[in-house]
Chains A and B, each alone.
Chain A
Amino acid sequence: MKAHVYRRDHINTDEIIPARYLNMDREADLAKHAMEDIDKDFVHKVESGDVIVAGENFGCGSSREHAVWALRGAGITAVIADSFARIFYRNCINNGFLAIECKGIGKSIENGAEIAIDLKAGRLTDLSNAKAYDFTPFPEFAQNILDAGGLLPCLKVKL
């Protein structure tokens, strides 16, 4: 998985998927416009399985879950950031999409680096220089939602 690094804090959901596309909600339609206002070439650079690396407070602003769908649709499998805004973080877990909080990561990884993630161990490795970074593994309830593939499949089990 290749890292697309944005050395910025406060990347907000308006930037991840602008409101002009919120008259659509299909993942494939949204994916064409993911990150468009930050990086016009983003969707052409991303290959399935890649990750985004960024600084603090990733996903702040609007509660639009379209932001998660746009990134996932574009091929992103995880966002790794110093920290996340809370609604975006919930939306990721609820979709079974990985949001990994790893302090200092936004300044550490070089753009284009190959990354490996070990979720159980809570360890992320930069394969370009074999440097490892620890993160806090997901709490049990969140891991259960992720394992079920999202909140609704989880509910269905409960209902």
Chain B
Amino acid sequence: MGQTITEKILARHCGKESVRPGELINARLDLIMCHDVTTTPAIDMLREHGINNVFDPDKIVIMPDHFVPNKDIQSAEMVRKIRLWAREMGIEAFYELGNHGVCHALLPEQGHVLPGMTIVGADSHTCTHGALGAFSTGIGSTDLAASLATGELWFRVPESLLFILRGKTAKHVYAKDIILEIIRRVGVDGARYKAMEFRGEAIDALSVEGRMTIANMAIEAGAKSGIMAPDQKTVDYVRDRTDADFEIVKSDEDARYEAVIEMDVSGLEPMVAFPHLPDNGRAVSSLSEKIPVDQVYIGSCTNGRIEDLRVAAGILNGRRVAKGTRCIVVPATTEIWKQANREGLLDSFMEAGATVSTPTCGACLGGHMGILANGERCISTTNRNFVGRMGHPGSEVYLASPATAAASAVTGYISDPRKMEG
């Protein structure tokens, strides 16, 4: 009987011919990603247990991003502790300020992610890297400490759900709208413990970046991982960044899925997920009243890549951010910032009355650089709209694509980007 891409990758990393959903395995890890918030406790744990070495410094990548540039003394101490520890362990891949960025945008951009890998990261959105055909999942600090020490981790092989996305999206309908619609359909725990595998012509048509937006939000349906088989676009993306060898793994024709969900994206409209769960999606065109926004946030590991900024700048260029609305643009990595600058996108944002920050997770998780006050409302290109996610528990977050967010910045209320033509 055939296997899914997820089962094949996991089998190859635990020395077996095949594995089955529900099986408990100990898998060898190819890549471990650490950031500022979850890594300091892991370092303490390792020291406390007398573990003074990591299994392989070349397979560990450290990307401080949540409270970077350091927002206060405590976060400065956290990053310093990680920096000194990384030196002591001989970990070269430490992305210091100036080469920094939001980890899930930076990790593939810098050529660390290869198809067929097993990747863990001490961050829930580590599922992003499945967009390149890797098994990639988020873990906590204790799992991180164990991974750093041994290069292995236990997993329960997940059941796979297959999402077949047919059709062609209309203008101003993006990867974000597709994943918000999928989460609306399956619910925030609809894929709990499972692997979400995506394929179909709508996936083929997306850039690797767009695919990352979709895989990034698999966790918002409760999934262990999101994954897509590599194609020529994936190979080109990886080859532009690294000479490292990799193997393309794909699902067998007769692979078994717990469920197959088919969806035609042709009729899909720009979506917005209302507070306080990502599955509260509605078509923007269906809103019966104007919903004013105090803040617009364009950035994050979901939608802070160059394509996202091009779309947003395309709408903001030559227009103005509405009076009474603030617009914050956060390019996800240093390279994206530089590219946006070269293309004049940053000028478009600044001339429109938006502000552009250095790469950071920042306000996406209510860290810094754009926190919301009580009663304030934000439309955001990020991935979570939980109570208090971006600041005061009395604030509200609406999730949308960069196009919808930019259109809303222009009008000052949640708006359909299709009405911004001309």
- In this complex, how many residues of chain A approach chain B with their Cβ under 8 Å: the count is 41
Kindly state whether residue A147 has any CB partner on chain B within 8 Å.
no
Kindly state whether residue A90 has any CB partner on chain B within 8 Å.
yes
**Given contacts A15-B386, A18-B388, A141-B154, is CB(A87)–CB(B138) below 8 Å?**
yes
Q: Contact at B45–A22, with CB atoms within 8 Å?
A: no
Kindly state whether residue A129 has any CB partner on chain B within 8 Å.
no
**Given contacts A20-B366, A23-B67, is CB(A90)–CB(B224) below 8 Å?**
no
Contact with B along A81-95 (1 / 0, CB 8 A): 001011100110011
- Give the residues in chain A near B139, CB-CB below 8 Å: 63, 87, 90
- Give the residues in chain A near B233, CB-CB below 8 Å: none
- Give the residues in chain B near A127, CB-CB below 8 Å: none
In the assembled complex, the Cα of A150 lies from the Cα of B140 at a distance in Å of 13
Kindly state whether residue B251 has any CB partner on chain A within 8 Å.
no
- Give the residues in chain A near B188, CB-CB below 8 Å: 10, 57, 60
Q: Contact at B387–A14, with CB atoms within 8 Å?
A: yes
Kindly state whether residue A24 has any CB partner on chain B within 8 Å.
yes
**Given contacts A63-B140, A65-B141, A152-B49, is CB(A37)–CB(B388) below 8 Å?**
yes
- Give the residues in chain A near B51, CB-CB below 8 Å: 156, 159
Kindly state whether residue A125 has any CB partner on chain B within 8 Å.
no
- Give the residues in chain B near A37, CB-CB below 8 Å: 387-388, 393
Closest to A10 in B: B188
Q: Contact at A63–B124, with CB atoms within 8 Å?
A: yes
- In this complex, how many residues of chain B approach chain A with their Cβ under 8 Å: the count is 48
Q: Which of B71, B141, B277 contacts A23 (CB 8 A)?
A: B71
Q: Which of A10, A83, A95, A141 contacts B277 (CB 8 A)?
A: A10
Kindly state whether residue A64 has any CB partner on chain B within 8 Å.
yes
Q: Contact at A152–B142, with CB atoms within 8 Å?
A: yes
Kindly state whether residue B129 has any CB partner on chain A within 8 Å.
no
Kindly state whether residue B421 has any CB partner on chain A within 8 Å.
no
Closest to A91 in B: B140
- Give the residues in chain B near A23, CB-CB below 8 Å: 67, 71-72, 74-75, 78
Kindly state whether residue B37 has any CB partner on chain A within 8 Å.
yes
Closest to B393 in A: A37
Contact with B along A16-36 (1 / 0, CB 8 A): 001110111100000000000
- Give the residues in chain A near B277, CB-CB below 8 Å: 10
In the assembled complex, the Cα of A14 lies from the Cα of B71 at a distance in Å of 19
Kindly state whether residue A62 has any CB partner on chain B within 8 Å.
yes
Q: Contact at B189–A60, with CB atoms within 8 Å?
A: yes
Q: Contact at B386–A61, with CB atoms within 8 Å?
A: yes
In the assembled complex, the Cα of A56 lies from the Cα of B146 at a distance in Å of 28
**Given contacts A10-B189, A23-B74, is CB(A86)–CB(B222) below 8 Å?**
yes
In the assembled complex, the Cα of A15 lies from the Cα of B150 at a distance in Å of 32
- Give the residues in chain A near B393, CB-CB below 8 Å: 18, 37
Q: Contact at A86–B143, with CB atoms within 8 Å?
A: no
- Give the residues in chain B near A63, CB-CB below 8 Å: 38, 122-124, 138-140
**Given contacts A23-B74, A150-B142, is CB(A156)–CB(B49) below 8 Å?**
yes
A33 to chain B, nearest CB (A): 12
- Give the residues in chain A near B142, CB-CB below 8 Å: 65, 91, 94-95, 150-152
Kindly state whether residue B41 has any CB partner on chain A within 8 Å.
yes
Closest to B371 in A: A20
B20 to chain A, nearest CB (A): 16
Kindly state whether residue A155 has any CB partner on chain B within 8 Å.
yes
In the assembled complex, the Cα of A23 lies from the Cα of B50 at a distance in Å of 25
In the assembled complex, the Cα of A138 lies from the Cα of B67 at a distance in Å of 37
Q: Which of B71, B72, B366 contacts A18 (CB 8 A)?
A: B366
- Give the residues in chain A near B78, CB-CB below 8 Å: 23
- Give the residues in chain B near A64, CB-CB below 8 Å: 37-38, 140
**Given contacts A10-B189, A19-B366, A155-B150, is CB(A94)–CB(B140) below 8 Å?**
yes
In the assembled complex, the Cα of A94 lies from the Cα of B122 at a distance in Å of 14
In the assembled complex, the Cα of A139 lies from the Cα of B24 at a distance in Å of 10
Q: A residues near B, CB below 8 A? A: 9-10, 12, 14-15, 18-20, 22-25, 37-38, 56-57, 60-66, 68, 83, 85-87, 90-91, 94-95, 139, 141, 150-153, 155-156, 159
With A22-B66, A63-B139 known, 11 other A-B pairs at CB within 8 A are: A14-B365, A23-B67, A64-B38, A85-B192, A86-B192, A94-B143, A94-B146, A151-B145, A152-B146, A153-B49, A156-B49
The 3 closest A-B pairs by CB, nearest first: A23-B74, A65-B140, A94-B142
